[in-house]
Amino acid sequence: MLYWDKEKECMPREHLLELQLRRLKEAAYRVYAFVPAYKAKFDAAGIKPDDINTLDDLKRMPFTTKQDLRDNYPFSLFAVPMSEVVRIHSSSGTTGKPTVVGYTRKDLEIWTELMARALTSAGGTKRSVIQNAYGYGLFTGGLGVHYGAERIGASVIPSSGGNTKRQIMLMQDFGTTLLTCTPSYALFMAEVMSEMGVKPSDLKVQSGIFGAEPWSENMRREIENKLSINAFDIYGLSEIIGPGVAIECPYKCGLHIAEDHFLVEIIDPVTEEVLPDGSQGELVITSMTKEALPLIRYRTRDLTTLNREQCECGRTHVRMQKVMGRSDDMVIIRGVNVFPSMVESVLLNVPGVEPHYLLVVERFGNLDQLEVQVEVSESIFSDEVRKLEDLGRRISKDLESALGVAVKVRLVEPKTIARSEGKAQRVIDKRNI
């Protein structure tokens, strides 16, 4: 088993808990002293940093939400003067102002180390040739992965997102062994490769580290088959640090969260009650060591479960299950919650269906309707109408029994649904337009 920092990744849990308590206290003092918005929140909750004596006291601390970041736009949640901030990233967000995040030199150092751990956990070494097709720029994917890849001594190709034919040429000519990008972009690359007549056996790519958007186990299988690689899931968010908050190990039974830096909880998103391990709910993260933008109990809106059992890989850090979706992407159809990942899982179990789909929600009168548009393979599309109708009916039935709500299925020609070079858009909600 390869580790980047075995001492920290496999730290005995009792030591880890001591470290967490010490770091949590430090974070509480830091935000209380240097961030007026946190002082106000702590005062309103009737808690002082001195009251944090056990990890259980975390529960007494206030939550932080995306709205808090918006209200303090751009820099008011920073806990250090701007002279200490050496990098700024932001995430675009669909509405209003972007979310702005800052890093001190030490924050960047920790992020780089976490990415080095992540890449190593997925098999990256100094002999790897890493093609990093996450977007470079304000998005944390590009630079985050880049510095980690340099830290492990790999040869990095900073190809960024887009220009897909060139990506494939680079893979061929430079002998890329590890690809990093969003899962939807990996799939698009596979499609363009086959159009160009490039076979996986023409390439040296062995593995891929994919994240920044939800993707199902069926999508993993699809990508692994089409590219003939080993695909790992990586999780992160800009508010907390960027990619590298959690990563799968070779056992792929959950993503190990870097618990020496991040304290995690699962809450019921409605009642905000902390749920026991194993329950599904919203992931809440406290970044204990961040200097520029430490966040206390940040509500990620990502839904997952936690598992603290020892993993066979030897790492002691808690595992989170693959994220099933974020609450923003959940559509409620006649009272039933539907996530794109649930639809994806069903679709990819049906032969003849391509892994490209879109959920379109509309309201007719008082009734919401979910239409699932999905591409079918060329051969099926040009087959008899009856066969197409049979397939449509089968998908409707499968979706209805998995989701518990009737869905309209529209089979579309290959290559009609927009391809993504970054995060894929899976839902169009026409009710809000």
Where does this chain bind ligand DLL (CB under 6 A)?
Answer: 91, 134, 139-141, 211-214, 233-238, 242-243, 300, 302, 323, 326
Q: Is 223 helix (H, G, I), strand (E, B) or coil?
A: helix
CA-to-CA distance for 396 and 389, rounded, in angstroms?
11
Residue 395 or 427 having the CB closest to ligand DLL: 427
DSSP 260-289: TTEEEEEE-TTT-PBPPTT--EEEEEEESS
Nearest distance from C-beta of residue 236 to ligand DLL, angstroms: 4
CB of 72 to ligand DLL, least distance (A): 17
- The residue (of 234 and 424) whose beta carbon lies closer to ligand DLL is 234
Nearer to ligand DLL, 8 or 146 (CB): 146
The tokens for 109 are 């150092």
239: amino acid identity, one letter: E
Nearest to 257 by CA among 55, 114, 113, 89: 114
- Sheet holding 306-307: strands in order across? 155-157, 129-132, 178-181, 207-211, 230-237, 242-248, 255-257, 319-320, 306-307
Which residue, 148 or 347, has its beta carbon nearer to ligand DLL? 148
Q: Give least dist CB 222 to ligand DLL, A.
A: 16
Instruction: Give me the least distance between CB of 15 and ligand DLL, in Å please.
Output: 28
If you count them, how many residues does the chain have?
433
Least distance (Å) from ligand DLL to the CB of residue 386?
A: 38
In the complex, what is the shortest distance from the CB of residue 363 to ligand DLL, in angstroms, rounded to a whole number? 26
Peptide bond into 355 cis (omega under 30): no
- 228 exposure class (CB count in 10 Å sphere: 0-12, 13-18, 19+): middle
Q: Which is nearer to ligand DLL, 94 or 366 (CB)?
A: 94
Contact 417, 373 (CB under 8 A): yes
Rounded least distance, CB 125 to ligand DLL, Å: 20
Residues 6+ apart with CB under 8 A from 159: 131, 132, 133, 166, 167, 170
For ligand DLL, which is the closer residue by CB, 21 or 340? 340
Q: What are the structure tokens assigned to 270, written together? A: 């409605």
Which single residue brings its beta carbon nearest to ligand DLL?
A: 211
Pick left, alpha or beta for residue 297 (phi over 0 → left; psi -120 to 50 → alpha; otherwise beta): left
| Distance in angstroms (rounded) separating the CA atoms of residues 61 and 73 | 22
* Comparison of 214 and 259: residue with beta carbon closer to ligand DLL: 214
Helix intervals (H) in 175-322:
183-196, 217-227
Least Å distance, CB 399 to ligand DLL, is 21
